[in-house]
Amino acid sequence: MAHVLAAATYSFAGFQRLLKEAAFRHELIAFLAVLSLFAIMSVPAWSYAAQAVLFLVLVAVEALNTAVEVLVDRISPEYSEFARHAKDLGSFAVFCLLAANGIHAVGAVFFL
What is the arithmetic mean of pLDDT over 4-11?
A: 97
Match domain 21-110 to its CATH number in 1.10.287.3610, 3.30.830.10, 3.40.50.460, 1.10.3470.10. 1.10.287.3610
CA dihedral 15, 53, 28, 69 (to 10 degrees): 50
In the chain, where are the structural domains located? Answer: 21-110
Question: Among residues 67, 74, 112, 73, which one has the least CA distance to residue 90?
Answer: 67
Give residue 52's pLDDT band: very low, low, confident or very high (50, 70, 90): very high
What per-residue confidence (pLDDT) applies to 112? 80
Catalytic choice (62, 69, 78, 81): 62
Q: Is 62 a catalytic residue?
A: yes
Residue 104 parent element (H or E): helix 81-110
Residue 35 has pLDDT above 90, yes or no: yes
